Amino acid sequence: MALLIAVNGWDSESWATRFSALLPDHDIRRHPETTGELSDIRYLLGWKTDPELVAALPNLEVIFSLGAGVDHLLKNPDLPDVPMVRIVDPDLTMRMSEWVILQVLLHHRKDRLYRAQQADHLWKGADVPSANAVRVGILGQGVLGADAARKLALLGYQVAGWSRTPKSVEGVVSFSGEDGLNTMLRRTDILVNLLPLTPATTGLIDYDLLSKLSSDGQRHPDCDAPILINAGRGGSQVEDDILRALDDGTLAACSLDVFENEPLTATSPFWDHPRVSLTPHIAADSDPQALSVYVAERIRAYEAGEGLINVVDRTAGY
């Protein structure tokens, strides 16, 4: 059984070394250094893989997506009709929740203000609302969204979640559908996007959506809001609209880990915008060893006849 590693932007050699140790009885190959017959390959570990390469594997049985999203695969019109497995790893989930919580706290506790005051040698406190006065809304109640929502609720925040279809998360007020989305937005001070990229979510975060965020008297007077936090997919946001919302006060600030085009160009206005915090798509940058173990375990289970888990629903897009 051959496993092909085709991961653009990653060090394929280190991945091959890990899999050679975890699956010593398998033929581990790397693209583009691959030798041997493509017909031998049964498994593909892919990230932004060349579509022509994927289509050229006649006996491919399972595709493993390196990363939480699968949009990089689904946009391939010649994608073989084989199961695609998402990476659902406790380490990845925890790291995403850590990043989301960090960003929520930085905005809630006015970190940008204090960094500016430090630069000016200014010793001055600011009024900060308690966590239970801050309303956080999370777009997406899958594995990542649900975990972040539960952890934020434990910190005392008023947490709501939205999903395409109804879901229930302990300690979280749940909304679904278009009407539910509008209702959640109206009661949201800090909006967190963890949705996958699908045709329905492409360009979802536009000026119209941002304009629906909390602007009523229920907001705590010391809460800097609304805030946007996006660690889902860059394709879900309309970046010109975000900049417009920041400049006209529709948004107080934002934290962005993903962008429409990556890496971010040197001339992007996001770099120097005074109310933008950005990170280079590292929110859920998980431990490569943990991801390798996950994939190896799924391959062993599949070959033992136990079937696959976390298989992508192509119709839904995740």
Planar angle of CA 86, 92, 97, nearest 5 degrees:
120
Nearest in space to 4 (alpha carbons), one of 33, 80, 291: 33
Write down the catalytic residue from 233, 275, 300, 314.
233
Question: How many other C-beta atoms lie within 10 A of the C-beta of residue 36?
Answer: 11
Q: How far is CA 77 from the centre of its chain?
A: 23
Task: Provide the token pair at 49.
Answer: 């893989």
Q: How far is CA 31 from the centre of its chain?
A: 26
Question: How many other C-beta atoms lie within 10 A of the C-beta of residue 93?
Answer: 20
The DSSP symbol for 215 reads -
Tokens 């493509």, residue located:
38
Write down the catalytic residue from 281, 298, 300, 314.
281
Give strand pairing partners of 41.
Answer: 2
φ, ψ (nearest 5 deg) of residue 58: -70, -25
Could you tell me if 259 and 197 are in contact, meaning their C-beta atoms sit under 8 angstroms apart?
A: no
Q: How far is CA 108 from the centre of its chain?
A: 21
Tokens 């109804």, residue located:
166
Give strand pairing partners of 95.
Answer: none
Query: Does the annotation count 233 as an active-site position?
Result: yes
Query: Does the annotation count 281 as an active-site position?
Result: yes
Could you give the residue numbers annotated as active site?
A: 233, 281
